[in-house]
Amino acid sequence: MKINDKLIVALDFDSLKKAIKIVDILDKNVTTYKVGLQLFTKEGYKSLEFLKKRDKKIFLDLKFHDIPNTVVGAVSSVLEHGVDMLTIHAMGGFDMMESVAKLIWQKRKKKTPAPKVFAVTLLTSLDSAFLQDMIGATSRSIEEEILILAQAARSAGIDGVVASPLEVKMLKQKCGKDILILTPGIRPTDFDKNDQQRTSTPYQAIKDGADYIVVGRPITTSTEPLKVVKDILKEIKNGLKDS
């Protein structure tokens, strides 16, 4: 995989116009963009079509969470739009993940392009009080719960997981090197953490084994987004060298 392909820039904007502006500034330095709930619910498939026209790869982060039949239906609809990566919730259950994996693997067997699927384990906004009070998992730590969900995702045939930088090493060790890990919560050295709690630098995340890093505000709110991207790419290069 090329160094640039490891960086995914999050287009968390309230209009397509703002997204287009940043994609044009970053030009060929960035190959992959995340379209998440905000841009997609505002602009719909227009946001994907524009990225396709620019020859960009698309990470559609809509975190599907419903019964198997409904999620498979949603994934099938998305497949028609040629996205490269998408997310579902591991908390949707083993059967739901397995149904999605079956659909994807059927496509791959027929050599039809199919996106890589990532399962969200536990949202980083949730803490051990959530596990105890709402799930009743009183004896498990957050880390143990994340591992259980990641292992379930892998056994169901899902390609990888979304994980905070702090879990990357543990997941690669315990789930095997083949599990793909996509990591948000990235803050280049000296950057504001915003509302992110469990952060790491691009260098450290890649060194620990992250396959992809997702970076939003450090790039999109910067007065020099291109410079920030170039610095991040340097960090990725160094992280790969030291991993």
Task: Determine which residue in the list 36, 115, 160, 239 makes contact with ligand C5P, applying CB under 6 A.
Answer: 36
> Shortest distance, CB of residue 228 to ligand C5P, whole angstroms?
11
Task: Determine which residue in the list 215, 229, 232, 236 makes contact with ligand C5P, applying CB under 6 A.
Answer: 215
Give CA–CA dist 114/106, Å, rounded: 9
For ligand C5P, how many residues bind (rule: CB under 6 A)? Answer: 17
216 binds ligand C5P (CB under 6 A): yes
88 binds ligand C5P (CB under 6 A): no
Residue 214 bridge partners (DSSP): 8
Task: Determine which residue in the list 196, 200, 201, 204 makes contact with ligand C5P, applying CB under 6 A.
Answer: 196
107 binds ligand C5P (CB under 6 A): no
> Shortest distance, CB of residue 51 to ligand C5P, whole angstroms?
15
Establish whether 102 is a catalytic residue.
Answer: no
Give CA–CA dist 111/104, Å, rounded: 11
194 binds ligand C5P (CB under 6 A): yes
Tokens 């999620």 locate to: 71
161 binds ligand C5P (CB under 6 A): no
15-234-28 Cα angle (round to 5): 45
Sequential DSSP letters for 109-177 = HTT----EEEEE-S-TT--HHHIIIII--TT--HHHHHHHHHHHHHHTT--EEE--GGGHHHHHHHH-T
**Residues with catalytic annotation?**
63
